[in-house]
Amino acid sequence: MKFQSGVLKGLLIKRFVIKTLAGIVVSLLSFSVYSGVGEGQELYNAYCQLCHGGLGEGQVMGKPLTDAMANRLSDQDLLAVITDGRSGTGMAAWGGSLSETEIFDVGSYIRNLQGKPALNLNDNDSGPSDDPVVLAGEQLFNSSAGCATCHSYGDQGGSIGPSLDGLSSRLDNDALMQALLSPSASIASGYEAKVIEQNDGTRISGRFRNDSELAVQIQSEDGRRWVTYFKDRVKSISDSPESLMPDRYASLGAQEQEQLLAFLKSL
């Protein structure tokens, strides 16, 4: 018994330390919250990234959350692992320290890292819209406006930009207009870009991951691959002040803008 309570005390202290540290991280983060950064991302960065990596790529103490195994978890199983943990592994049960909504948000963020739409266990979801303006906007999004190359909603679209599921609950009108009209003014966290200048002078810019002393990985233009650039084999690597998001919205006609906006607000 004595041993057990010692262990318990140790666990409680550990949890206290983790929570306190996480609290500090969260309050630091809130100074630099970009528009569109969900609650789930803040929670993830505070509690999970240490073991699972900033983009879910995995670290020494935790497995990747973007591999085939994690991708196969059903929504229910994903939430269950976070809530109940996996006994006998480093994955603790978070049900005691995070609320159901927080677990849902962090689960949604993991789906985001997997390039999938956010969790939606809401049965009374109104389903696809039948508003003709929204439908015209959806059409534009997927065709001439070219948004779908980089953004997903539901289970379709690209992964260069963030998934736009749940957009309306993340961005208010001002933030949405800023995202569309001056994308570089505030860049969604995790979607910053780097510019690589190669020895022959050509420049490549893209979303990056695994930035280390030796190399950095840049997402290919079609979003499908991560290409490794060794730092001693290129001329320079720098942070890009520019968003990867083109300001195409501004060049659309007034009616098209209205349609696209109606569609975005329906997400």
Binder of ligand HEC out of 86, 224, 225, 235 (CB under 6 A): 86
Min separation Cβ 199 and ligand HEC, Å:
26
Choose between 167 and 262: whose C-beta lies nearer to ligand HEC.
167
Q: Does 82 bind ligand HEC (CB under 6 A)?
A: yes
Binder of ligand HEC out of 244, 259, 262, 266 (CB under 6 A): 244
In degrees and rounded to multiples of 5, residue 216 shows phi and psi of: -140, 150
Binder of ligand HEC out of 48, 119, 216, 262 (CB under 6 A): 48
String of contacts with ligand HEC for each residue 189-208, x by CB under 6 A: --x-----------------
Binder of ligand HEC out of 22, 160, 196, 218 (CB under 6 A): 160
Binder of ligand HEC out of 118, 188, 196, 218 (CB under 6 A): 188
Which residues are near ligand HEC by CB under 6 A? Answer: 35-36, 47-48, 50-52, 61-63, 65, 69-70, 73, 78, 81-82, 86, 89-91, 94, 106, 145-147, 149-151, 160-162, 167, 170-171, 176, 179-180, 183, 187-188, 191, 243-246, 248-249, 260, 264
